[in-house]
Amino acid sequence: MRRHLFAFTFVSLPLALGLSAATAGSHAAAQSGRSVSAPSGIEIDALDRKIDPCTDFYQFACGGWVAKNPLPADRRSYGRFTELQERNFVVLRRILETSGDDPSPGGSGSGDRKKAADFYAACMDEGKIEAAGLTPIGSDLATIDEILNPDDLPVLIAHLHAYGVPVLFRFGAQTDLQDAANQIASVDQAGLGLPDRDYYLKTDARSVELREKYVAVIQKQFTTAGEPTEQANADAKAVLSIETAMATAMLDRVKRRDPANREHHMTINELQALSPNFSWRKYAMAAEAPPLPTINVAVPDYVRALNSLITVSAMNVLKAYLRWHVLRESADLLPKAFADANFDFFSRTLEGQQEPPPRWRRCVTETDQRLGEALGKAFVEETFSPKAKADTLQMVQDIKNAMRSDIDSAPWMSGETKKAALVKLEAVVDRIGYPDEWRDYSSIRVTRDDALGNRQRALQFDRKRNLAKIGQPVDRGEWSMTPPTVNAYYSPDRNNINFPAGILQPPFYRSGRDAAVNYGAAGGVIGHELTHGFDDQGRKFDGQGNLRDWWTASDGKAYEERATCVADQYSGYAVDADTHVNGRLTLGENTADNGGLRLALLAYLAGPGAKNSSKIDGFTPEQRVFLGWAQVWCENSRPEAERLKAATNPHSANKYRVNGPVSNMPEFQKAFSCKANAPMVRTSACRVW
């Protein structure tokens, strides 16, 4: 999600319509409907009993599931998360397709619910999309064509940003990390077409080939839009050259993980001095931004580099670049030729997905992204019980208690730092299910015959909301995930943990099933998010969300040594012959997985597990906690998708989200009676939390 600069999520589920839709498949519902759920909640069918859990716990917990669930052609990956997401999508689809019956106030055909249904209907109407051709972006393309010199750029860029085309840089509101109760403006690097700067800079054969294919898709879209072939060729190469220059100046993902590297508060005059060729005042005025006393310029070197790209002689290159991004961002809601070409490169080549997902699934995704709380309200009414909320709150309390005693007993922390850590822990706000106040979408105009226009107006609404925050106090009630989302997050700048209704369902949680499995799965998610407050990034924020060092120097050093152990452990994991997990990129998530699973186990043993030692399905309570965690990660995915994930995603490959944490835990070794030399027993186990 882009809305928060800082939100540490449980997984990264790409939800962009068409482009990288990792959303659910029609085969999925049937498959999950067949799976046999034992009384414990463990999926017995998912196990692979041929392998010793001490040799490869992921294979033991998931091998059966992996064998029975081959990847559908319209998926780049498919796992237990996607199974659940598919079930949520079926509910959302029904809501969207049946809304409209009752037009009375509050009825299914009134207000936001009708708006969401109209939005979905327009997205589904391929005939109208085909007939409209390039009309919905015609005036933008014409405006780009007309600009003559750099003075024209600020107004045009502000206009494109308002419609969600992230060219050249990103401008918006962020929490002031020096004073986390308030919000300031921020300027950050953005605007590449490939997934990461490394895709432009790496020189291996695969990277070179990907860039050739990237140039080919740009060329194809330009030609389909009416450019002569030779011109389109030259323009596509120009796009690659300007994006390569941008990429070269960008801060890489690992350096970006240190929030201090993104903190450069400036006045607008100081920002202007970095890039005299681009008028920031003109841009701010065109964007209708509030006054900007302070701007956080995340990457000053990037702004300097932009300046050298914005020159009179580069205008044709810039125009090609802007045209490409307008086409790229709109392609999935343009005629089929554009949508297919985008899919072919961004989903098939980059992620290995063979076929586009069915249209309904893409349009549910699109509606969830643009009008998420309109749709989410109806979803919550149908799916989220007060019992689920009460159970989750209980687990949160138990896990906070476990964290409290974990901090208390940490042998490597001084009393002074422990005290500060406990103050932060007490300040963590937990939010379950859905927002207290629903967003009001009444100002967005939605029609049943203008899919792209609807999207643009929804994005414009988001943009207005975002810019209005500059100079205002932080709205602590706001969520950055929609209620049906199968995910969770921690915001370090707000110090809150958030669990949308969408994830508080099987396989994560089921009312009445064995508590060991609920704690291993849902409790593990809660522990994961709570641990983010104390991972290598989170620990740099205080309980109020300020970027403030509350560690003694020696405790900070001890922390970094422990974190380095985790980073080195995961860097050793291979996801493909020539691709490894990046231990520094994934450090925060791996720390959260390790801490989360341990806290879930401790909380279970101190809570419901204290009264329960009997076996279910042949497994002890401790074993069931570990299996509850492991079985949410069962997944098949394509090598292309795994490589993309390793390059860009702060989360490790699923297999290591299971085997990484358990192999660090003496509790696991004991629970499964593993020999000291077993692969799931690390001789030098890492532990932060």
- Structure token digits, residue 627: 């299996």
How far apart are CB 9 and Zn ion at their closest, in Å?
Answer: 5
Given the structure tokens 């809305």, which residue do they identify? 3
Let me know: does 40 contact 514? Beta carbons within 8 Å: yes
Minimum CB distance to Zn ion, residue 623 (Å): 25
**CB nearer Zn ion, residue 318 or residue 599:** 599
Map tokens 């997205």 to a residue. Answer: 123
- CB 595 → Zn ion: shortest distance, Å? 10
Task: Determine contact, residues 227/359, Cβ cutoff 8 Å.
Answer: no
Q: What is the closest distance, in whole angstroms, from the C-beta atom of residue 580 to Zn ion in the complex?
A: 20
Pick 243 or 589: Cβ nearer Zn ion = 589
**CA nearest to 218, candidates 341, 348, 353:** 341
Give dist(CA 453, CA 448) in Å, integer: 10
By beta-carbon proximity to Zn ion, the closer residue of 10 and 509 is 10
Q: Which is nearer to Zn ion, 421 or 592 (CB)?
A: 592
User: Residues 497, 530: contact at Cβ < 8 Å?
Assistant: yes
Q: Out of 118, 125, 536, 593, which one is annotated catalytic?
A: 593
Closer residue to Zn ion in complex, CB, 132/592: 592
* Site track for Zn ion across 10-29, x = CB under 5 A: x-------------------
Say how many CA atoms lie within 13 Å of 63 toward its Cβ.
13
- Residue 431 in contact with residue 497, Cβ under 8 Å? yes
Please state the closest distance from residue 530 (CB atom) to Zn ion, in A.
Answer: 10
Comparing CB distances to Zn ion, the nearer of 366 and 589 is 589
Say whether residue 8 binds Zn ion (CB under 5 A): yes
| Subset of 93-122 contacting Zn ion (CB under 5 A) | none
Given the complex with Zn ion, which of 518 and 594 has the nearer CB atom? 594
Q: Which is nearer to Zn ion, 375 or 525 (CB)?
A: 525
Please give the full DSSP string across 298-347, using - where no structure is assigned: S-HHHHHHHHHH-SGGGHHHHHHHHHHHHHHHHGGGS-HHHHHHHIIIII
The neighbouring-strand residues paired with 265 are: 296
Clarify whether 593 is annotated catalytic.
yes
- Strands 489-491 and 8-9 come out as antiparallel
Nearest distance from residue 532's CB to Zn ion, in Å? Answer: 6
| Structure tokens that stand for 368 in this block | 């969830």
Q: Is the peptide bond before 39 cis (omega within 30 degrees of 0)?
A: no
Choice among 529, 535, 542, 555 that is catalytic: 529
CA 57 remoteness from chain centre: 26
3-state secondary structure of 507: coil
10 vs 479, beta carbon nearer Zn ion: 10
The residues pairing with 79 across neighbouring beta strands, listed in sequence order, are 635
Residue 567 near residue 587, CB atoms below 8 Å: yes
Q: What is the DSSP string of 232-260?
A: HHHHHHHHHHHHHHHHHHSPPHHHHTSGG
Contacts (CB under 5 A) with Zn ion, residues 441-500: none
Residue 587 to residues 163, 359, 535, 652, 660, Cα–Cα distance (Å): 34, 37, 8, 9, 12
- In the bound complex, what is the minimum distance in angstroms from residue 503's beta carbon to Zn ion? 12
What is the Cα–Cα distance from 666 to 597, expressed in whole angstroms?
13
**What region, left, alpha or beta, does residue 471 occupy, with left being phi > 0 and alpha being psi -120 to 50 degrees?**
left
The residue range among 8-16, 338-346, 373-381, 613-621 that interacts with Zn ion, by the rule CB under 5 A, is 8-16
CA distance linking residue 355 with residue 352, whole number of Å: 9
Residues 367-396 that bind Zn ion (CB under 5 A): none
- Amino acid identity, residue 302? Y
Smallest distance, Zn ion to C-beta of residue 412, A:
23
List Cα–Cα distances, 495 to 430, 491, 541, in angstroms.
Answer: 9, 5, 8
Query: Should residue 303 be labelled a site residue for Zn ion when binding is judged by CB under 5 A?
Result: no
145 is catalytic: no
**114 or 598: CB nearest Zn ion:** 598
Binding mask 538-577 for Zn ion (x = CB under 5 A): ----------------------------------------
Residues in 570-609 at the binding interface with Zn ion, rule: CB under 5 A: 589, 592
Contact set for Zn ion, span 186-225 (CB under 5 A): none
* Number of residues lying near Zn ion (CB under 5 A): 4
Contact residues for Zn ion, defined by CB under 5 A: 8, 10, 589, 592
Which residues does the annotation mark as catalytic?
A: 529, 593
